[in-house]
């Protein structure tokens, strides 16, 4: 895509396409066999535009890593939502499409197996206004939360968050404290990163360093990414929760202190980028369904783990392939072996750890 196309064009265009993809899921069930093909076709240019929005024109990651950590987080999330609805949704039946749910009055929050006994599941909307609201809400839901009071989603289901009794005042004060902490973390990471004059021509300026320096600068980069992502997320939560009267428990921390991880499984499962966990699992399902009849339950679980990290590898390679280096005509090779080796080592580490 030409670098002259501004992010102010690609971002809203991709978002409109995403809304159109979600909107079609609310149309007549009889039309869904045809509409699922339309959603795949719309998802292709939509994902390309998200990729362009994630890496703005003339972007240089060594010089603009702060911008990268904020813009990329937004575009990456919406890219994943596009894949979830437009691509993985190809195999969904209309009865499985995400729906709003409301808590039943005077009943405690609880589940009986997989049956949701404490919620009223609303039907898919049928008017233009409610369909548009549905599309906008599903596109923007971060962790199964909703813009609308007391509404949550059947998929993705909300993750455990704050205490339901948390007041708006306590939430705002706590989130302001968190933002201040994140700013300090991001500033420390940025200062570590800027202590070195980076070689912007070398394709692997970080991993080509001695191992001790790799660890040092990687921790700095990690702190910068964590701080940048969390600051953006927390600012949005401060806008949505008090102003739209959303439930505070629907906005837990974006990352749960990844530096405090006690294991590889703890890092990936409960601390790092929980926003993407739902979509990665969904993206792995076609492969899982293909081999499930021939494998044991344990083997299927490990297959899903390997597929998830394989998908993450592919998405990161696509990202780096689109990221220019020192000049407009110098890019990373598609098969970025340091990325492949890193993600391939994670299932091995989980297996050894288990």
DSSP per residue, 183-200: HHHHHHHHHHHTTS---S
CA-to-CA distance for 257 and 313, rounded, in angstroms? 23
Q: Order of strands across the sheet with 100-103?
A: 119-121, 100-103, 152-153
Strand residues in the chain grouped as ranges (E)? 100-103, 119-121, 152-153
Highest mean pLDDT, choosing among 162-176, 186-200, 242-256, 319-333:
186-200
For residue 300, which of 291, 309, 312 has the smallest C-alpha distance?
291
Instruction: Count CB atoms within 10 A of the CB of residue 113.
Output: 6
d(CA 21, CA 50): 14
pLDDT confidence of residue 4: 45
- The vertex-269 CA angle with 171 and 80, nearest 5°, equals 80
Element (H, E) at 238: helix 211-244
For 67-116, write each residue's pLDDT tens digit: 555 566 677 778 888 988 998 888 888 888 999 988 776 655 444 444 45
Give the DSSP per-residue string, 301-324: HHHHHHHHHHHHHHHHHHHHHT-B
166, pLDDT greater than 70: no
Whether residue 140 has pLDDT greater than 50? yes
Q: How confident is the model at residue 278 (pLDDT cuts 50, 70, 90)?
A: confident
Residue 232: CB atoms within 10 Å: 18
Compute φ and ψ for 153, nearest 5 degrees: -115, 150
3-state secondary structure of 115: strand
Q: How far apart are CA 320 and CA 333, in angstroms?
A: 8
Is residue 69 a contact partner of residue 56, using CB atoms and an 8 Å limit? Answer: no
- CB-CB contact of 242 with 172 (8 Å): yes
Q: Would you state the pLDDT for residue 163? A: 52
Residue 20 has pLDDT above 70, yes or no: yes
């Amino acid at each position: 895509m030409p670098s002259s196309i501004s992010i102010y064009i690609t971002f809203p265009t991709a978002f409109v396409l995403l809304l159109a993809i979600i909107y079609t899921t609310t149309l007549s069930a009889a039309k869904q066999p045809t509409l699922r093909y339309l959603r795949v076709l719309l998802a292709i240019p939509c994902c390309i535009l998200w990729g362009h929005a994630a890496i703005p024109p003339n972007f240089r990651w060594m010089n603009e890593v702060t911008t990268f950590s904020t813009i990329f987080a937004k575009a990456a999330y919406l890219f994943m939502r596009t894949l979830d609805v437009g691509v993985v949704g190809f195999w969904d039946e209309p009865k499985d499409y995400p729906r709003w749910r409301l808590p039943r009055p005077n009943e405690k929050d609880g589940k009986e197996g997989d049956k949701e006994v404490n919620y009223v599941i609303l039907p898919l909307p049928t008017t233009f206004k409610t369909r548009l609201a549905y599309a906008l809400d599903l596109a923007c839901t971060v962790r199964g939360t909703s813009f609308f009071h007391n509404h949550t989603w059947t998929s993705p289901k909300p993750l455990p968050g704050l205490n339901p009794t948390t007041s708006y005042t306590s939430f705002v004060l706590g989130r302001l404290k968190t933002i201040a902490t994140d700013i300090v973390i991001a500033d420390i990471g940025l200062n570590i990163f800027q202590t070195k004059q980076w070689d912007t021509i070398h394709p692997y300026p970080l991993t080509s360093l001695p191992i001790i320096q790799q660890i040092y600068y990687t921790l700095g980069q990690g702190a910068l990414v964590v701080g940048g992502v969390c600051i953006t997320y927390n600012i949005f939560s401060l806008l949505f929760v008090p102003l739209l009267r959303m439930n505070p428990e629907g906005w837990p921390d974006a990352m749960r202190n990844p530096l405090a991880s006690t294991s590889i499984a703890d890092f990936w499962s409960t601390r790092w980028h929980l926003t993407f966990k739902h979509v990665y699992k969904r993206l792995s399902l076609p492969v899982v369904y293909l081999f499930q009849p021939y494998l044991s339950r344990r083997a299927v679980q490990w297959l899903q783990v390997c597929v998830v990290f394989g998908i993450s590898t592919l998405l990161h390679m696509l990202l780096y392939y689109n990221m220019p280096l020192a000049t407009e005509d110098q890019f990373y090779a598609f098969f970025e072996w340091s990325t492949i080796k890193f993600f391939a080592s994670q299932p091995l580490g989980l297996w050894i750890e288990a």
